[in-house]
Amino acid sequence: MHGNGIIKEKNIPCTLSDGVVLRSDVYRPDDGQRYPVLMLRLPYDKETPRYYDEYLDVPRMVEAGYVVILQDVRGRFASDGDFYPFIHEGKDGYEAVEWAAELPFSDGNVGLFGMSYHGYTQLAAAAEKPPSLKAIAPVMTMADPWGDILGGENSPHATGEFETWVLGSIVEDQLKRKGNLDETDKFHRYLEELSKWLYHAPADEWYPMKDLDPDSFFFDVMKGTLPDWWMEKTKLHRALHSISVPALFMGGWFDALLKPTLEAFHAYNGPNMLWIGPWTHEEMTGRAGEVFFDHAKKKIGVDEIADPTDLHIRWFNHWLKGKPLSIEKNVHLYMMGQEMWNAFNEWPEPAAMMDLFLHSSGNSQTIHGDGKLSTELTPNETKSAMKLDPKNPVPAYGGNVLIAGNESGMFDVSHIQDRSDVLVYTSEPISEDCKLFGTVKAVIWGSSSSELLDVSIRISDVDEFGRAYNIVDTFHREKVDAGTQVCLELDIGTTAYLVRKGHCIRLDIAASNAPHYDINLNNGTTTKTHSEGKTDAEYVHQGGEMNSKIILPLAEL
């Protein structure tokens, strides 16, 4: 197919060493010349428009002098073989890179690009060190996929996120490949009600997948039966220390994979660059929930680069064509609240840290309670009860979510904070602008009537109208002795956000965050493996020798 000076060839075969054939759509200049190759390897169907003209603009990349290849990974859509998440992407990626380098219209130099799962395919291929791979551009991704999806023993499990991914993005093609066409109507009924099904327990016997595809990898993961060597083979953090291929990392302040993206960037040995914008996993327009940020889609960074496509072209022009990069610094961060970008030679450290201590007489439930944040210590030790009803958990809302029925970004969460099972601590209106810059931390003293202590923590910006917009949040589970006070030292999240003079800083704490994470049933089990529980309470302790606090990283104003 020819058009606009671009040749498109569909389902070009790439035969791997084990005989499996992967198929790719190839876009290249219609001039008979050889060009570097930029390849995206994905499990979500290369025909999807998003991967052609929404995430990055393929025609512009071709016009910039590249062959662009979109390849279905093993066992997905047009490619042959059996799909099992992550395990084949290193070896297959190596062979796909070397295949692309040998194509008659390739000049032998290959770059990889893509976001999320196909950010992982880049890191896995780079870890195998294919000689023709000259640069990568992993966006909103992870280096330890199983850990980031489901955590470890006695850790919270992102069951809602995993169920959303498998049912929403994976299983339909698996059913078609198995010839289960009779299941497609049933699948669409489940998909339409996915947000409700996320509450179905136990997750390791999740009914939609039991009904649709009982032999799915879904159950290997949920039941924890993946072989140890499979788990280790897909963990790339150690391998990142030995990779020398240049990498362009990009993340979003409200992306579900922000933390693993930062971990991969910091672990990476080769030349690298990092961009973090006010983006979500769904879009990079500047809209993040109810808030819109200027200079996030066009003219990004202090260098006012046209858009993410232009940034990728500049990156690959430098490493695959030897052109000047014309971007001086390595770390580019969007400063929320200031509506501007800043650039640094390396990841910046905060200029100072500020402690805000939790104050309450024990009645800090809801925004109408007595919970306060203060720079002053209090000698009075108290505890606030945090009700946990497994049948009425505190819902996920905004932030870095990636689950059906929920949108990520900034939202007014004051209605959540007005629930009786949420503890709320609010500062006095601040007397001057407060620039949060780095990782917000917490030291929380807690106790539980069962052997699991679950803590969902969120920091928000309360404006003059009482609206509370979420900034960072996290969820933590600790195995404890029932009734014993423990000290939790937590990273709540990383941000660059200006709280305006006259606004308040607020902390809210709950014992659940559903259906993002499995729910504590107050009997030593959770909804990952069980369904029956009871209503009980956890406690947050404050004051005296149990001075719970949040720790705010501050930049110079």
Q: What are 371-405's pLDDT values in tens digits? A: 999 999 999 999 999 999 999 999 999 999 999 99
Could you give the angle at which helices 117-127 and 89-101 cross, rounded to 10 degrees? 80
- List Cα–Cα distances, 144 to 92, 156, 237, 304, 481, in angstroms: 18, 16, 7, 33, 30
How do beta strands 35-42 and 106-115 pair?
A: parallel
Contact 258, 494 (CB under 8 A): yes
Residue 500 predicted with pLDDT over 60:
yes
Q: What is the pLDDT of residues 329-353, one digit of tens each?
A: 999 999 999 999 999 999 999 999 9
pLDDT at 475: 97
- Using CA atoms, how far residue 389 sits from 48, 78, 369, 420, 518, in Å, is 41, 46, 20, 11, 13
For residue 348, the SS3 value is coil
| Per-residue pLDDT band at 289 (split at 50, 70, 90) | very high
The structure tokens listed for 56 are 């990055």
The phi, psi pair for 330, rounded to 5°, reads -95, -25
Please name every residue paired with 373 in a beta bridge, in sequence order, or none if there are none.
358
pLDDT score of 183 more than 90: no
- Cβ distance 226 to 220 under 8 Å? yes
Q: Quote the tokens at residue 246.
A: 């240049």
Q: What is the pLDDT of residue 374?
A: 98
Token pair of 422 as six digits: 């949420």
- Looking from the CA of 169 toward its CB, the CA atoms found within 13 Å total 17
pLDDT band at 2 (very low <50, low <70, confident <90, very high): low
pLDDT at position 266: 97
Which residues does 185 contact at the CB level (< 8 Å), separation at least 6? none
Instruction: Provide the residue count of the chain.
Output: 557
Query: 425: which 2 tokens?
Result: 């601590």
Structure confidence at residue 88 as a pLDDT band (50, 70, 90):
very high
What is the band of 1 on the pLDDT scale with cuts at 50, 70, 90?
low
Contact 345, 357 (CB under 8 A): no
Is the peptide bond prior to 29 cis by the omega test (within 30 degrees of 0)? no
Q: Given this model, what pLDDT does residue 48 score? A: 87
From residue 236, alpha-carbon distances to 113, 144, 380, 498 in Å are: 17, 6, 47, 34
Q: Tell me the per-residue pLDDT of 105-152, one tens digit each, with 9 for 90 and over.
A: 999 999 999 999 999 999 999 999 999 999 999 999 999 998 767 766
d(CA 490, CA 102): 49
Query: 3-class DSSP state for residue 75?
Result: coil
- 3 state SS of 551: strand
Give the per-residue pLDDT at 55.
81
Lowest mean pLDDT, pick from 47-61, 431-445, 450-464, 474-488: 47-61
pLDDT at 230: 86
Q: Which residues neighbour 293 within 8 Å (Cβ) at sequence distance 6 or greater? A: 277, 278, 286, 287, 334, 336, 339
Instruction: Mark out the alpha helices in 183-333 (DSSP H runs).
Output: 184-192, 194-197, 207-212, 217-222, 228-234, 237-240, 258-267, 308-321
Q: What is the mean pLDDT of the chain?
A: 95
pLDDT in tens, 201-249: 999 999 999 999 999 999 999 998 888 888 889 999 999 999 999 999 9
Q: How would residue 4 be classed by pLDDT, with cut points 50, 70 and 90? A: confident
* C-alpha to C-alpha distance for 87 and 312, rounded to whole angstroms: 27
- Rounded distance, CA 158 to CA 528, Å? 9
DSSP 379: -
| Amino acid identity, position 183 | E
Q: pLDDT tens across 508-535, in order?
A: 999 999 999 999 999 999 999 999 999 9
Instruction: Please tell me the distance from the alpha carbon of residue 130 to that of residue 227, in angstroms, as a whole number.
Output: 27
Q: What is the mean pLDDT of residues 164-168?
A: 97
Residue-wise pLDDT tens digits, 38-77: 999 999 999 988 877 778 999 999 999 999 999 999 999 9
pLDDT at 556: 81
Q: List Cα–Cα distances, 134 to 128, 140, 143, 187, 248, in angstroms.
A: 13, 20, 19, 41, 12
| pLDDT at residue 185, rounded to an integer | 84
- pLDDT of 181 > 70? The answer is no
- Which tokens sit at 515? 């259906």
Find the mean pLDDT for residues 260-289.
Answer: 96
- Could you tell me if 41 and 119 are in contact, meaning their C-beta atoms sit under 8 angstroms apart? no
